[in-house]
Amino acid sequence: MPSISLTRHLIEEQRSGHVTPDLRLLLEVVARACKRISVAVGKGALGDVLGEAAAAGGGDSINVQGEAQKKLDVISNEILLEANAWGGHLAACASEEMEHSQQIPDAFPRGNYLLVFDPLDGSSNIDINASVGTIFSVLRCPEGVTAAQDHDFLQAGSTQVAAGYCLYGPSTMLVLTIGHGTHAFTLDREQGSFVLTTGHMRIPAQTREFAINMSNQRHWEAPTQAYVNDLLAGQDGPRAQDFNMRWVAAMVGDVHRILTRGGIFIYPWDRKDPSKPGKLRLMYEANPMAMLVEQAGGAATNGRTRILDIAPTSLHQRVPVFLGSKDEVETATRYHLQHDSAAA
Ligand code: FDP
C-alpha cells in the first residue's frame, strides 16, 4: 500500500468537502514550521539552543505568564510567526509567548482564520532531552472583522476548525484533527514529509492508567483528593482494580500516550495560587487537546463542564483539565459534581 503524505491526506479531505483550500494551505504551513522547530530541537547542545533566553536589558527573559522563557520557546515562536505571515490564509496569530495577538503584517494579504499556539509545550523538558511539542488551534475570524484583536479569539473550543500538536520525541509526529477524526503522521526525516501512520486514532473508553503531578496532592480540592485516593487504593479500594501512573511532564507527551493507548490526564485546580484556576491554558493547550481527544472517542472536562463548551474570557485564561478515556473522565467528573451537589 502506498504511503499517504500529509499533503495527500489534506487534498483528499478537501475533495470530501471537509477542509477549504485556505485551511489546507494553512495547515501545511504550520506543519512546515513544525519541521523547522523539530530541526532546532534535534540539534540540542550542538545548536546553541538550550538554556534560558536573555532579556533585552540583561537577565532571563520572562513571558506573559511570568515564566522564564527558554531559547527554544523564543525560536519556536519566531519560526511559527514568520512561516505564517505571508501565506494569505490568516488574519492574526496569538501565542503563549506574546501578551497580545499579532495581526498579519500589512505587507501581506490577510485571510479568514485565526491561529493560536503554544510554540513549545513542556519547556522544562528541553534541557533534559525529553519530549516537548507544539500545540495549535485554528479558529474562524469573525465575519466582517478586518483587523482581528484579542477578543476575536475568545470563541468556545467547539468552534475550532482544526487542532493539532507536533511531538518532538524519538520521532517527530504531527497529530491533527479537522473535525473528522484524529490522525497521526510521522516525519520521514529522509524525505522531509509527514506520512500518515495512524488514521482515526481511538482512545479506549476504559483505562487503568492515570497522569497527574502527585507532588501537588495536598493542595487539591476535596473531590480531586477523593478521586485520586480511590485510584491509589487499587484492588483494595472502591475501584477494585490497580491503576498505574505515568507523568511525562509535557502535556503533548502525556496526551500522545493517551491517544495511543488510553489513560486519564489531570492538571486540576490547586490551592498553591488560588488566583489561578489551574495551570494549563484554555485557548492553546486545553481546547486543541480536548478537540483531538473527543475526535478520538475520548472526553475532556474541567472537572465539571465540557472543556469545549467553556466561553473564554481572556487569551491566556487557565483552566483545570481532566481528559482521556471517556468512562474514566466521566467518573472523575462525577466525583466533583457529586461533591458540589452535597455541598449545595
Ligand atoms: P511546562 O511547565 O514544562 O511548560 O504547559 C505547562 C506544562 O509544562 C505542561 O506541558 C505539563 O503537563 C505541565 O506544565 C507540567 O507541570 P508540572 O511542572 O507541575 O509537572
pLDDT digits (tens, 9 = 90+) for 266-283: 999 999 888 888 999 999
Report the residue among 128, 213, 257 best suited for mutation to probe ligand 1: largest number of ligand atoms under 8 A from its CB: 213
* Per-residue pLDDT, 299: 98
Chain position carrying cell 503563549? 96
Model confidence at 199, pLDDT cuts 50, 70, 90, reads very high
More confident residue, 141 or 66: 141
| Residue 214 pLDDT > 80 | yes
Closest ligand 1 atom, residue 120 Cα? 4
Integer Cα distance of 263 and 245 in angstroms: 9
What pLDDT score was predicted for residue 275?
A: 84
Number of Cβ atoms within 10 Å of the Cβ of 322: 27
Whether 128 shows a pLDDT value over 70: the answer reads yes
**Choice between 67 and 118, residue whose per-residue pLDDT is larger:** 118
In the chain, % of residues over pLDDT 90? 84
- Return the pLDDT at 290: 98
Q: Distance, CA 286 to ligand 1 centroid (Å)?
A: 12
Kindly report the protein residue whose alpha carbon is nearest to atom 19 of ligand 1.
213
- How far CA 72 is from CA of 48, 76, 171, 275, 323, in Å, comes to 10, 6, 18, 29, 27
Report the candidate in 183, 174, 144, 176 with the shortest Cα–Cα distance to residue 161: 176
Cell 517527530 belongs to which residue?
172
The per-residue pLDDT for 56 is 64
Beta-carbon count within 10 A of 289 CB: 32
Q: Which of 90-99, 100-109, 144-153, 219-228 has the lowest mean pLDDT?
A: 100-109
Residue 105's pLDDT is what? Answer: 83
Q: What confidence score (pLDDT) does residue 267 get?
A: 98
**pLDDT tens for each residue of 299-336:** 999 999 999 999 999 999 999 999 999 999 999 999 99
Output the CA 284–ligand 1 centroid distance in Å.
13
Beta strand pairing status for 162-168 and 172-177? antiparallel
Q: What residues form the annotated binding site for Mg(2+)? A: 96, 118, 120-121, 285
Q: How confident is the model at residue 70 (pLDDT cuts 50, 70, 90)?
A: confident
Which residues on adjacent β-strands are paired with residue 60? 54
Ligand 1 pocket mutation pick from 97, 117, 121 by most atoms within 8 angstroms of CB = 121
Please give the distance, rounded to the nearest whole angstrom, from the Cα atom of residue 249 to the centre of ligand 1. Answer: 5
Ligand 1, atom 1, lies closest to the CA of: 122
* Measured distance CA(85)–CA(93) in Å, rounded: 9
CA-proximal residue: ligand 1, atom 18 (nearest):
249
Residue 110: the pLDDT is 85
Residue 75 has a pLDDT of 93
Cell 516525519: give the residue. Answer: 187
| Class of residue 341 by CB neighbours under 10 A (exposed 0-12, middle 13-18, buried 19+) | exposed
Q: Give the per-residue pLDDT at 137.
A: 98
Confidence band, pLDDT 50/70/90 cuts, at residue 287: very high
Contact 146, 110 (CB under 8 A): yes
Does 5 score more than 70 pLDDT?
yes
pLDDT of residue 62: 73
The share of the chain scoring above pLDDT 70, in percent, equals: 97
| Measured torsion, CA atoms of residues 158, 76, 64, 246, in degrees rounded to the nearest 10 | 70
Cβ(338)–Cβ(330) below 8 Å: no
Mean pLDDT of the chain: 94
- For residue 196, the CA-to-ligand 1 centroid distance in Å is 28
- List 102's β-bridge partners, or say none: 93
The answer to whether the beta carbons of residues 248 and 311 sit under 8 Å apart is no
pLDDT of residue 51: 79
Cβ-proximal residues to 74 (8 Å cutoff; 6+ apart), any chain: 53, 61, 97
Ligand 1 nearest-atom number relative to CA 281: 5
Q: Which atom of ligand 1 is nearest to 215's Cα?
A: 19
One DSSP character per residue, 33-56 reads: HHHHHHHHHHHGGGGT--SBPBPT
Judge if the beta carbon of residue 213 lies within 6 A of ligand 1. yes
User: Which of the two residues, 76 and 62, has the higher pLDDT score?
Assistant: 76
pLDDT at position 96 is 95
Which of the residue ranges 60-64, 79-83, 260-264 would you say has the lowest mean pLDDT? 60-64
pLDDT band at 60 (very low <50, low <70, confident <90, very high): low
Q: Let me know if 252 is exposed, middle or buried by CB neighbors in 10 A (0-12, 13-18, 19+).
A: buried
